[in-house]
A and B are shown apart, each in its own frame.
Chain A
Amino acid sequence: MSDNHDVDYLRASTGIKSWLLTIDHKRLGLMYLASVLFFFLIGGIFAILVRTELFTHTETIMSAQQYNQAFTMHGVIMVFLVIIPSIPAALGNFVLPLQLGAKDVAFPKLNLLSYYIYVTGSLFAVYSMVSGAVDTGWTFYTPYSSQSSQAVVSMTLAAFILGFSSILTGMNFMTTVHKMRAPGMTWFNMPLFIWGIYATALIQILATPVLAITLLLIIVERTLGVGIFDPTLGGDPVLFQHFFWFYSHPAVYIMILPGMAIMSDLIAAFSQKRVFGYSFVAFSSLSIALISFLVWGHHLFVSGQSALAGAIFSFLTMLVAIPSGVKIFNWVATLYKGAINLATPMLYALMFIFLFTIGGLTGLFLGVLSVDIHLHDTYFVVAHFHYVMMGSTIMAFIGGIYYWWPKMTGKMYKESLGATGAILVFIGFNVTFFTQFFMGSQGMPRRYYNYLEQFEFYHQISTIGSYILALGLFVALWSLIDSLRNGEKAPQNPWNASTLEWTVCTTPPIEHNFHETPHVTTGPYDFGIEEGYSD
């Protein structure tokens, strides 16, 4: 399929400028990947610092103020610099046009601009870190953020700027999905990865501007003393919570939908089966996107919202379980009687099903009005969202990196190393966070620096778990770095997958992706009749 004179995109041009000014979606995807992994390391260091501090019930390694800064930096970095851009901007950029049979995204220059907006935002975040890290928590709640003496303005400005990167990427992907599909690539011939990324793009477009204006209001409140949220100026701090969660709850789905998107492709490829109930999985992504805008009030159950509003939001929150459940059941049904290949990406996919089920079900507990009043602001909440954000999205992200690694680099990683990392991550993750469900249900509040001695045992297990988790992640990182130096050359389609990026593209792809625009005649998961994809 590949002509000898066609070089792949990694070698098509050389020199630092050919990377820094590239408008090739594949190179931009790799640049995002490197940036995201860098900040994942930084955010992870803060996490380890937080866990280490909590090893004893009194001061362990840092002061209370430093502790507030450490958990805030961990949250801000992981949410805004890692998870939100992780799958869409890094893997989405690389894979989306390939799976659609397009030569690039709709607006390649805008894509480059989004990357530099991301870099600018991250520089502001770094500046804020070194000039007195924020101590408000990643949610920037007023009146903390109105009164804190730390670098709130630069950090909110960072999140504001990062939001624009997210908006532009979402716009680019939405237009790409609508307008750049290859001939024969109908909506229902699209791989489910694209459906998930598409639903994410819609939320990015519709939710992120509200965060932008909210953060802008905080900035003008601090610099010009405009009283929108600050009660001493006649403002209303609960209004901030409404504004913030109107974005940030949909943003939770900006984080999880891409993980679900990867899952469908992984499960199909490693069971060699068509995804069970394709259209249900596709529409469940869109319905999650829709419902995501109607549930923000469940973050405000104890903030002074009316009981009626609380009851309505509680009911609406239950609705999220339906499309999420559809996905879980359909993935499991896809596994049934499949030819299962337990390669490393599949290990992460199975981990996702297990961890997301726990994360999702505990979300239901928290969505129940009465239960939430007991569990609100405890470690139960911390454990719940780590099961969803880290246990689901990050696991899918890592699984996706392994899955597309041969496509991106042309090298195979070592299965033994990959599997070792995956098992350590799984053990470490559960030891760290499952313990926190116990602590939380017994009343251990989140964000506390010192705590009652009765919780020390749980905290110590959790901290040890976090070290195992970190070790597992380093093994995973090592398996990838090792493959670059010692990895075998990747075959065209190592997983016998059935989507265009594997069946038609060379490994690694050429600069223009396809020699000729592919004409699609079969569905995305028609294994064994892949000759239906002709080029």
Chain B
Amino acid sequence: MSANTNLEPGRFPLAGHFSTPAQQIDAGKMGMWGFLVTEVLLFGGLFVAYGIYRYLHPQAYIDAHGHLDVTMGTVNTVVLLVSSLTVALAIRAAQTDNPGQVTIHLIITLVCAATFMVVKYFEYSHKFHAGLLPGVYFTNATVPNPDQAHIFFGIYFLMTGLHGVHVLIGMAVLFWLLIKNIKGHFCSEYYVPLEIGGLYWHLVDVIWIFLFPLLYLVG
């Protein structure tokens, strides 16, 4: 019953318990969509918490969000959007049997992801220096209503932190796909891991698309 795969390059590695490649591809995609639903719900709890405390303390949110760096946030948004494009291009290249292009696009995606994390590092270290931290660690004296502002930063760090963890996991997945591609596992017959990895990466992107306006732009 093992999922022993036939790893010859250029051929579809049909696992033993599936009857046809189509069945295997459909199952893989469906599993990933199911997983993405769970991810949305995981973040859903945080979005609800965001909404409730924004409703309770609107002025504190407006004052606190001004301490986020919109420029850095914008740069990160652009970087992630570009990376979503390059992942899509990598899949397109696999569909047209162009492994060299797949490699290039995956590397660009990884570079974008790394850029995102570096920018995040600078953002976080600035917050640490300024004492704009969650809960009991909040020490910044310039923000009005510190009793409420620390909740904003708690939610900010939770949401962006959990998202950052997802970026790191996504980078690991992309790296694994890159290695597989360099070994020549993908071709126009078989590129479903790229598609599934791409779906995950798009989700990471989509979550950020919601985080950015809610945290950085909405006053």
Contacts and interface: CB of A to CB of B under 8 A. Distances in A.
B173 to A, nearest CB: 15
Contacts of B125: none
Interface string A293-319: 000000000000000000000000000
B19 A511 contact: no
Interface in B155-169: 155, 157-158, 162
Contact of B27 (A180, A217, A234, A513): A180
B151 A239 contact: no
Interface of B: 1-3, 16-17, 19, 23, 26-27, 30-31, 34-35, 37-39, 41-46, 48-49, 52, 134-137, 147-148, 150-151, 154-155, 157-158, 162
A23 B30 contact: no
Contacts of B27: 106-107, 175-176, 178-180
Contacts of B19: 517
A432 interface: no
A60 to B, nearest CB: 41
Given A110-B31, A226-B157, 6 more contacts: A23-B2, A205-B34, A209-B38, A213-B45, A226-B151, A243-B48
B150 to A, nearest CB: 7
Interface of A: 23-25, 102-110, 167, 170-172, 174-176, 178-180, 205-210, 212-214, 216-217, 220-221, 224-228, 233-236, 239, 243, 511-513, 517
10 contacts: A23-B1, A106-B27, A107-B31, A108-B17, A206-B41, A208-B38, A221-B135, A227-B134, A227-B135, A233-B135
A110 B32 CA distance: 12
Nearest to A517: B19
A107 to B, nearest CB: 6
Contacts of A220: 134, 154, 158
Nearest to B133: A224
A234 B46 contact: no
Among B23, B43, B135, B151: residue with most chain A CB under 10 A: B135
Contacts of A226: 134-135, 151, 154, 157-158
Contact of B45 (A24, A102, A214, A511): A214
Main secondary structure of the interface of A (DSSP, over half): helix
A208 B31 CA distance: 16
A97 B23 CA distance: 15
B154 A228 contact: yes
Q: Provide the main secondary structure of the chain B interface.
A: helix
A209 B158 contact: no
B135 A205 contact: no
B158 A175 contact: no
A103 B16 contact: yes
A175 B151 contact: no
Nearest to A246: B45
Nearest to A24: B1
Nearest to A235: B151
B158 to A, nearest CB: 7
B11 to A, nearest CB: 20
B34 A175 contact: yes
A210 B49 contact: no
Given A217-B45, A225-B135, A234 B38 contact: no
A35 B38 CA distance: 26
